[in-house]
Amino acid sequence: MPAAVIKPEVLSQTLTSVALPGCCLSSRLLTTGGSLLSYTGSFSGEELTASVIANAWATYSQSDTKRGPRLNFLYVDCQEGRTIVTQVLPGLLLSLMSDKTLPLHELQAKLLVLKEHLSVTLEQAFPAGQAGTLLSSSCVTSD
């Protein structure tokens, strides 16, 4: 059982704090299984995007374990903009999407700040290594 409760509005406000107008189009917190937990922004098709991000992360992280160091970031260049993904906790991914005018290093810096802030909060709420499992099995519902 989680040690603390994560309030959806607080999570959304935290994601919004990084998605500044003109910089980030959207931010997402999702499970490695592709379930979208929270997102902010005006980009449509968030559920599909979350699924694609999780699938790409799983594919690259599996191939990465065969070669050496683990995957830290995944960069995706899309028609709509750039997306960067990282793992917050085992089972949880965080992604930011920006237009193509924001330099990649700035997008990565925003992602790292948000990851650090979220990981402190999420580590208090979930036992070590069980965030994705708990969220996928009991906390996330889909329409």
Q: Where are the domains of the chain?
A: 8-132
pLDDT score of 14: 81
Q: Transcribe the chain into DSSP letters.
A: --SS---HHHHHHHHHHH--TTTEEEEEEEETTS-EEEEEES-S-HHHHHHHHHHHHHHHHHHHHHHSSPP--EEEE-SS-EEEEEEEETTEEEEEEE-TTS-HHHHHHHHHHHHHHHHHHHHHHS-TT-HHHHIIIII----
Give dist(CA 24, CA 97) in Å, integer. 6
Lowest mean pLDDT of 11-20, 62-71, 80-89, name the range. 62-71
pLDDT at 52 over 70: yes
Q: Within 10 Å of residue 46's Cβ, how many Cβ atoms?
A: 17
Which residue's structure tokens are 């999570």?
A: 11
Which residue's structure tokens are 């979350």?
A: 50
pTM, 2 dp: 0.81
Average pLDDT over residues 72-100: 91
pLDDT at 66 over 70: no
pLDDT score of 142: 35
Give dist(CA 40, CA 49) in Å, integer. 13
% the chain with pLDDT above 90: 31
pLDDT at 140 over 60: no
* Mean per-residue pLDDT over the chain, rounded: 79
Q: How far is CA 97 from the centre of its chain?
A: 10
What CATH number labels 8-132? 3.30.450.30
